Amino acid sequence: MKTITSLCCGLLLLTGLGPHARGESFRTDINPALLYYQAFLLAPELSAADNNYLVTNQWVGWQPLPDRFGSLMAGYQNELGCLKQAMNQKVPCDWGIDLSRGPETLLPHVALCKQAVIKAQWDIMWRLQQGDQAAARDDLLASLTLGRNTSRDRTLIGALVEIAIESVVCTTVAEDFGRFSPETLQQLAEGFEQAPVRGTLAAALATERGMHQDWLIGRVEAAQQAHPHDEAAVMEELHQEFIHFAPEMETSYWLQFTNGPAGTPDGVIKMAREATVWYERLAGLSTLPHGQFEEQFNQLSAEANKSGNIMFLRDLSGWSSGRQKEFRIQGQLAMVKAAVAYKLHGEAGLKSVNDPNGNGPFACKRFVFQGVDRGFQLTSPLLFSHAPMSCIFVEKDGPPFSVFGAHVGEAVTP
């Protein structure tokens, strides 16, 4: 049944894309989320052997890809076609998620967004091997657009997955940099600039505070109405909620509630309302640049620990970690922009792009791997895994190596 459904959907998709392919008018008023959901439905159901083949092998740019790989990529074209169609829409992306459910809110699309981008990354490598730069370009820009739209609900997980997707896109550009013509690189640079605005952790913070703080207050008040004058019953009902939503930390977290000033229903409500001030201060810090953020965050953390506000302290370290990821992706995106400018305009182009986490342009040097010059390496003073963050832009064929991350410059076994 799914095969028949997929075939019918595929024919409809091809019909819908027909005018676009011929340069005729096509719809741009469709909610992108609807097209993304359609894309997820059109994903092929691979056999266990084919799935293992794609997932367990280390596919890295420049290595010759076998025909089997190309045959499997052909099965993803309907799904990837929907991503490209969504990229051309002129209306906002609305995933239709009801955030009023608080911690009960489900975000089924988030993991599927990341999976779709991984498939697009595979397709890009195959397209480049076939010399189809236009298709590879569109896959990249559609992936970036999907990443930006992943964060449209302004949730923390949405913002973090956005960062992960953007990093995949940037890494793909770096791995295959030398395969792109100057014209395609220029088109990619323009597409990056025209992509939807990034979602931020600062925007997500306000949403998360409401989802958790308002939910917690609402649950306590509802329990008070159900158990008037019985604080023990109210607290036990709240305890069961903790067990349900955070079983891995329920014991330690609940002990902090019951042994501190939040050990009564009114104490929980008071603590939740007082957390508003702390969240507002954190939101203000979350727009500061690298350096200033860390300094003021450490001060805020020290004050918050003295306050003993358990609700705020529980989330504090996670937001700090997320902000460091945000600094890294801002730097990585700027590195791609600088690399393209360097390729197109030389030293003047490189110097025209400043490192958002530094005090000027990125440092640049040639990268030699196993005695062969393979490309160039851009470096920022921002630390990543105890070393300055670097990205290598590969210009020549050869044995694969990691272009970004904690193991940048190290060999990769295909």
Task: Tell whether 240 and 139 lie within a shared domain.
Answer: no
| Residue 400 included in any domain | no
| Residue 39 included in any domain | yes
Looking at 255-406, which runs of residues are DSSP E strands? 363-369, 372-384, 387-394
291 phi-psi bin (left φ>0, alpha ψ -120 to 50, beta other): left
The residue-averaged pLDDT of 11-33 equals 62
Q: Where residue 171 falls among pLDDT bands split at 50, 70, 90?
A: very high
The residue-averaged pLDDT of 37-57 equals 95
Task: Tell whether 153 and 45 lie within a shared domain.
Answer: yes
Segment 281-337, tens digit of pLDDT: 999 999 999 999 999 999 999 999 998 888 888 778 888 999 999 999 999 999 999
| Residue 128 included in any domain | yes
Task: Tell whether 55 and 159 lie within a shared domain.
Answer: yes
Task: Tell whether 101 and 250 lie within a shared domain.
Answer: no
The residue-averaged pLDDT of 11-29 equals 54
Q: Which of 170, 200, 230 is the last residue of a domain?
A: 200
| Residue 157 included in any domain | yes
User: How many folded domains does the chain comprise?
Assistant: 2
Task: Tell whether 93 and 195 lie within a shared domain.
Answer: yes
Three-class SS of residue 384? strand
Q: Which of 282, 310, 326 is the last residue of a domain?
A: 326
Other Cβ atoms closer than 10 A to 171? 19
Task: Tell whether 173 and 248 lie within a shared domain.
Answer: no
User: In the chain, what is the straight-line distance between the N-terminal and C-terminal CA atoms, in Å?
Assistant: 36
Q: Is the pLDDT of residue 414 over 70?
A: no
Task: Tell whether 29 and 90 lie within a shared domain.
Answer: yes
Looking at residue 210, what DSSP letter applies?
I
Could you tell me which residues are beta bridge partners of residue 368?
373
In one letter, which amino acid is 297?
Answer: F
Other Cβ atoms closer than 10 A to 205? 23
Task: Tell whether 145 and 115 lie within a shared domain.
Answer: yes
| Residue 244 included in any domain | yes
Write down the pLDDT at residue 15. Answer: 38
Task: Tell whether 49 and 125 lie within a shared domain.
Answer: yes
| Residue 278 included in any domain | yes
Task: Tell whether 252 and 183 lie within a shared domain.
Answer: no
Segment 343-390, tens digit of pLDDT: 999 999 999 999 999 999 999 999 999 999 999 999 999 999 889 999
Q: Where residue 85 falls among pLDDT bands split at 50, 70, 90?
A: very high
Mean per-residue pLDDT over the chain, rounded? 89
| Residue 61 included in any domain | yes
| Residue 337 included in any domain | no
pTM for the predicted model, two decimal places = 0.90
Task: Tell whether 180 and 255 lie within a shared domain.
Answer: no
**Vertex 218, ends 208 and 274: CA angle to 5°?**
60
Write down the pLDDT at residue 8. Answer: 43
Task: Tell whether 193 and 244 lie within a shared domain.
Answer: no
Domain with 38, as residue range(s), is 2-200
Q: Which of 171, 200, 229 is the last residue of a domain?
A: 200
Q: Where residue 59 falls among pLDDT bands split at 50, 70, 90?
A: confident
Looking at residue 11, what DSSP letter applies?
H
Looking at residue 362, what DSSP letter applies?
P
Q: What's the Cα-to-Cα distance from 103 to each of 96, 155, 233, rounded to whole Å?
A: 16, 11, 22
